[in-house]
């Protein structure tokens, strides 16, 4: 590289930079990925022409805040609006056109057909085209689905329509269909308004991306708040209520209930109509196929956000994760690629969090169901530590589940639920997964400690220690699913008071402090699975038993995990 000053050469290059042809990038969709791409591209290239087309009335709005707008937690509509066309023009010299719908792409001519809401259509030429159309709510083709009073929540106008309906009809009853992120948040915020909520979920649990036992505390909290949670329930129809007031919701079992409004939150599908009509390659579920540079099957067209299919960072397989974080990062990356920088998207691992009804539920990586379907060898441990030391006021339990590779200890996923400190622990493990860390790294992780924030053994350390002990062979792990299906005996080492309050429907009981004196009561001809409240006393018992010649193993998470796996309405009768 020539580092010597050359004024004549430098002036010539400056002149060339001023007169070179300006390249035009057209971005379809202004929320999340589209807005991030536009701003980043301007920072990369002061000379580019950047045009953002947004079919809706707003650009760069916070759709994740919409449930809280319903209840008034977020008071004003403008609080949801992160930016405006005027701001983009003033700060970045970017041409944002709201109310302009991109309706067709001519790939050969490299033009896009645009239809404004208030004028004739026109053609836009592009050097690079970025598709960030997002996803649309699923509206199942049920009888009556288009009746007034049945809503989805995806945009600010959607939120306004629901708020206006509640006020106009003095709504006191609501049915929310779908127990995922949006369904839980909408149910909580309608409940906050004093509305009687029925939350309907087709599956046998809320939050289907979480393993069932880890989602169970959320189901308990929903019911404890007074919401009528109906799992395993299929909505079959909608019809007008008596004398034209409200609605009747029909279910597959023939029952019906009256309500004043319905919010559909059964998921989203990729908004792929523009890409499909243009002949771009799509994945099996309709998502736009892209490579690591977020480039589609057309070298001049890129795609980001909820509409795209990307790689799972853990398995390398194709997947789609409709989350704002990956969408924003993809938008920034595409801006760099268009500007000529070498970038590649690392993939997604699905780190997510949901707060509702006083609990926080968070996860990262793969869940156990996915690992089984993919036949990835794995192990599972549970822990139920406090969010900070018990002697400092306000300590709360965090229930954690760690999934790791059974061959080398690499962390594959984690889930946690509790009142405080949940998201912090999952964030730590999310970064561990990104760095390819193992359970031994979690065991040794050096994390913040002060009495009001954590413990010298943080919950992240705790799950790492349990898993590391298992990997080393110091703590054999049994599985709750094996109980009753293998020849092992079950030993409960909790206190008598604990057992009298909540008894396991099988096994023998010897309190930990009496174990040494009562070893003769244990069978010597079969394995022993040991359980306590959360696992610590069982671990101590196992160390004792193994050194006395018994084949002892841990039922991880103790009675706390068993209670999540067996909610009261599903428990076997106690003997």
Kindly report the backbone phi and psi dihedral angles of residue 302, in degrees, each rounded to the nearest multiple of 5, phi listed first. Answer: -120, 160
Q: Taking 50 as the threshold, does the pLDDT of residue 2 lie above it? A: no
For range 297-309, the mean pLDDT = 97
DSSP strand pairing (308-311 vs 288-289): parallel
pLDDT value of position 398? 97
Task: Determine the average pLDDT of the residues in 253-275.
Answer: 96
User: Does this model's pTM top 0.85?
Assistant: yes
Mean pLDDT of 142-163: 96
| Cα angle: 345, vertex 412, 490; to 5 degrees | 170
The DSSP code for 333 is H
Mean pLDDT of the region 233-240 = 97
Who wins on pLDDT, 57 or 4? 57
Q: Residues 328-335: what's their mean pLDDT?
A: 96
pLDDT at position 191 over 90: yes
Q: Tell me the average pLDDT across 154-183.
A: 96
Could you give the CA distance from residue 51 to residue 105 in angstroms, rounded to a whole number?
15
CATH number for the domain formed by residue range(s) 480-570: 3.40.250.10
Q: What confidence category does residue 484 fall into, taking pLDDT thresholds of 50, 70 and 90? A: confident
What pLDDT digit, counting tens, does each position of 26-63 carry? Answer: 999 988 899 999 999 999 999 999 999 999 888 888 88
Is the C-alpha dihedral spanning 364, 559, 540, 527 positive or negative? negative
Share of the chain above pLDDT 90, in %: 86
Residue 572 — very low, low, confident or very high, per pLDDT cuts 50/70/90?
A: low
Opening angle at CA 312, ends 53 and 153, nearest 5: 45
Query: Any residues with CB less than 8 A from the CB of 361 and at least 6 apart, and which?
Result: 207, 210, 214, 215, 217, 218, 353, 354, 355, 415, 416, 417, 422
Structure-block tokens of residue 373: 């379907």
Fold topology of 358-472: FAD/NAD(P)-binding domain (3.50.50)
Q: By C-alpha distance, which of 491, 212, 232, 167 is closest to 372? A: 212
Residue intervals in the chain for CATH 3.40.250.10: 480-570
**Where is pLDDT greater, at 561 or 243?**
561
3-class DSSP string for 183-227:
HHHHHHHHHHCCCEEEEEECCCCCCCCCCHHHHHHHHHHHHHCCC
pLDDT at 8 over 70: no
pLDDT of residue 12: 41
Assigned superfamily of 21-62+79-134+270-338:
FAD/NAD(P)-binding domain (3.50.50.60)
Helix, strand, coil percentages for the chain (3-state, nearest 5): 35, 25, 40
Query: 65-96, pLDDT tens digit by residue?
Result: 999 999 999 999 988 888 889 999 999 999 99
Q: How far apart are alpha carbons 264 and 186 in whole angstroms? A: 10
pLDDT at 540: 96
The whole-angstrom separation of Cα 381 and Cα 463 is 7
pLDDT of residue 10: 41
CA distance 228 to 215: 17
Residue 107, both tokens: 């790939």
Is residue 7 pLDDT above 60, yes or no? Answer: no
Order the strands of the 352-356 sheet from edge to edge: 352-356, 359-365, 411-418, 398-405, 378-383
3-state SS assignment for residue 111: strand
Q: Which CATH architecture has domain 150-266?
A: 3-Layer(bba) Sandwich (3.50)
Q: How many percent of the chain have pLDDT more than 70?
A: 95
Tokens 């480039």 belong to residue: 295
Q: Rounded to an integer, what distance in angstroms lies between the CA atom of residue 95 and that of residue 54? A: 11
Q: Kindly report, as residue ranges, where domains of CATH 3.50.50.60 are found in the chain.
A: 21-62+79-134+270-338, 150-266, 358-472
Q: From the CB of residue 317, how many other CB atoms can be counted at a distance below 10 Å?
A: 10
What is the pLDDT averaged over residues 534-541? 95
Q: E-assigned strands of 244-287?
A: 247-251, 256-259, 261-264, 268-270
Whole-angstrom CA distances from 336 to 37, 268, 340 are 9, 29, 6
Instruction: Please provide the average confidence, as pLDDT, over all residues in the chain.
Output: 93
- pLDDT at 15 (0 to 100): 39
């Amino acid at each position: 590289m020539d580092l010597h000053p050359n004024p004549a050469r430098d002036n010539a290059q400056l002149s060339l930079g001023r007169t070179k042809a300006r390249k035009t990038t057209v971005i379809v969709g202004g929320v999340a990925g589209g807005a991030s791409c536009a701003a980043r591209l301007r920072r990369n290239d002061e000379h580019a022409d950047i045009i953002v087309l947004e079919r809706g009335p707003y650009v760069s709005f916070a759709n994740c805040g919409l449930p809280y707008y319903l209840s008034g937690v977020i008071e004003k509509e403008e609080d949801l609006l992160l930016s405006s066309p005027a701001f983009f023009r003033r700060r970045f010299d970017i041409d944002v056109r709201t109310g302009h719908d991109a309706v067709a792409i001519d790939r050969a001519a490299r033009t896009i057909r645009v239809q404004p809401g208030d004028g004739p259509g026109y053609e836009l030429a592009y050097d690079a085209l970025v598709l960030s159309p997002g996803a649309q709510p699923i509206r199942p083709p049920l009888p009556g689905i288009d009746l007034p009073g049945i809503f989805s929540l995806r945009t600010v106008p959607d939120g306004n329509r629901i708020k206006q309906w509640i006020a106009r009809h003095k709504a006191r009853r609501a049915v929310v269909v779908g127990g995922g992120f949006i369904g839980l948040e909408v149910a909580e915020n309608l409940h906050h308004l004093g509305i009687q909520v029925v939350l309907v979920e087709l599956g046998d649990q809320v939050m289907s991306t979480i393993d069932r036992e880890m989602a169970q505390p959320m189901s308990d909290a929903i019911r404890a708040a007074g919401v009528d949670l109906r799992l395993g329930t299929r909505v079959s129809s909608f019809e007008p209520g008596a004398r034209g007031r409200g609605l009747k919701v029909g279910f597959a079992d023939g029952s019906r209930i009256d309500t004043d409004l319905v919010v559909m939150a059964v998921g989203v599908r990729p908004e792929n109509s523009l890409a499909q009509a243009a002949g771009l390659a799509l994945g099996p579920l309709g998502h736009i196929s892209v490579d690591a540079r977020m480039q589609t099957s057309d070298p001049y067209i890129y795609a980001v956000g909820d509409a795209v299919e990307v790689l799972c960072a853990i398995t390398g397989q194709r997947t789609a994760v409709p989350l704002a974080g990956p969408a924003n990062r993809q938008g920034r990356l595409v801006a760099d690629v268009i500007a000529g920088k070498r970038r590649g998207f690392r993939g997604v691992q699905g780190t997510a969090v949901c707060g509702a009804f006083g609990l926080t539920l968070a996860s990262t990586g793969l869940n156990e169901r996915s690992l089984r379907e993919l036949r990835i060898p794995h192990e599972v441990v549970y822990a139920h530590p406090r969010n900070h030391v018990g002697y400092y006021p306000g300590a709360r339990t965090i229930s954690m589940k760690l999934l790791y590779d059974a061959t080398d200890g690499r962390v594959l996923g984690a889930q946690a639920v509790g009142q405080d400190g949940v998201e912090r622990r999952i964030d730590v493990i999310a970064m561990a997964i990104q760095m390819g860390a193992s359970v031994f790294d979690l065991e040794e992780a050096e994390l913040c400690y002060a009495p009001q924030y954590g413990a010298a053994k943080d919950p992240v350390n705790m799950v790492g220690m349990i898993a590391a002990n298992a990997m080393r062979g110091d703590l054999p792990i049994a599985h709750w699913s094996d109980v009753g299906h293998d020849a092992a005996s079950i030993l409960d080492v909790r206190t008598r008071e604990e057992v009298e309050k909540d008894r396991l429907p099988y096994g023998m009981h010897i309190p930990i402090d009496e174990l040494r004196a009562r070893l003769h009561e244990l069978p010597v001809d079969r394995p022993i699975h040991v359980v306590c409240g959360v696992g610590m006393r069982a671990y101590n018992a196992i160390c004792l038993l193994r050194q006395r010649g018994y084949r002892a193993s841990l039922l991880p998470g103790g009675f706390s995990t068993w209670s999540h796996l067996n909610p009261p309405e599903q428990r076997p009768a106690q003997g």
